[in-house]
């Protein structure tokens, strides 16, 4: 009986995991960006002309391109990691995704990042070492042109080592169903722990604010081999 129960739990976990994979798609957003390493007034506007900017693919670190100079902070490698950098990208999202959730995920943006989509300010992220995500869905033109703009402004003498500068890690579009667990939306706590027993609680925050009932399935695995 125990063996059958364990098999049933395993099958349930498998089907839940399979459904999660089918409901979530992660698409690389690294290609086809335009970059400018200086101040640019109104560069967040979707109508801004960036045709003369440099075209590149991410990840990109503008500081590592140099030049080395003794006037720059030696602790940071003598490289120009501070200043202002702009990244812009024009893209389309297929019309058939209009009932999906579409979010942009930055694995690393160094730093003081400000992000806009189609003239809407999404938010700012001062720290450069942790990834972050913004929901683009309310502001997207499905089946038509979209423009995302990112401004970064690393500060001089702000690091004791070389921090890099720019969108220095991968960037993604996360496409999901309307009901999803948002970025950083899962919380795990252990309110009770003893030599014999550990109580594990997990809570999830979903992306819809409605009165409709929903259910989730969570599986906890012990990495230690069974004895």
Residues 6+ apart with CB under 8 A from 121: 44, 114, 115
Quote the CA–CA distance of 105 and 115 in Å, as a whole number. Answer: 11
CA angle 98/102/107 to nearest 5° reads 165
pTM equals 0.75
Q: Taking the alpha carbons of 49, 125, 94, 55 in that order, is the dihedral positive or negative?
A: positive
Q: 50-83 burial, b if ≥16 CB within 10 A, otherwise e? A: beebeebebebbbbeeeeeeeebbeebbebbbbb
Phi and psi at 31, nearest 5°, equal -90, 150
Tens of each residue's pLDDT in the chain, 227 residues: 444 444 344 334 333 433 444 567 999 999 999 999 999 999 999 999 999 999 999 999 998 887 877 777 777 777 778 889 999 999 999 999 999 999 999 999 998 999 999 999 999 999 888 899 999 999 999 999 999 999 999 887 777 777 888 999 999 999 998 776 666 667 788 888 888 887 777 776 665 555 566 666 666 667 777 66
> What is the separation of C-alpha 171 from the centre of its chain, rounded to a whole number of angstroms?
7
Question: For 57-216, where are the E strands, in sequence order?
Answer: 85-92, 101-106, 113-117, 120-125, 132-135, 145-152, 171-176, 186-193, 198-204
CB 84 within 8 A of CB 38: yes
Residue of 121, 117, 60 lying closest to 89 (CA atoms):
117
């Amino acid at each position: 009986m125990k063996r059958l129960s364990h098999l049933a739990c395993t099958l349930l976990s498998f089907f839940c995991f399979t459904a999660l994979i089918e409901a979530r798609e992660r698409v690389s957003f690294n290609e086809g960006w335009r970059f400018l390493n200086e101040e640019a007034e109104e560069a967040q506007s979707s109508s801004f002309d960036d045709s003369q900017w440099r075209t590149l693919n991410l990840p990109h670190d503008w500081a590592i391109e140099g030049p080395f100079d003794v006037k720059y902070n030696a602790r940071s490698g003598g490289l120009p990691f501070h200043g202002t950098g702009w990244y812009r990208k024009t893209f389309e999202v297929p019309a058939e995704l209009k009932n999906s959730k579409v979010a942009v995920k930055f694995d690393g943006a160094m730093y003081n990042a400000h992000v806009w989509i189609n003239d809407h300010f999404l938010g700012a992220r001062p720290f450069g070492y942790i990834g972050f995500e913004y929901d683009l869905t309310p502001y997207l033109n499905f089946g038509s042109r979209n423009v995302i703009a990112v401004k970064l402004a690393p500060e001089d003498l702000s690091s004791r080592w070389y921090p890099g500068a720019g969108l220095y890690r991968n960037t993604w579009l996360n496409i999901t169903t309307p009901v999803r667990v948002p970025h950083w939306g899962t919380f795990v706590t252990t309110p009770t722990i003893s030599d014999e027993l550990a109580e594990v609680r997990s809570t999830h925050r979903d992306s819809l604010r409605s009165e409709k009932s929903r259910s989730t399935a969570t599986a906890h695995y012990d990495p230690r081999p069974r004895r």
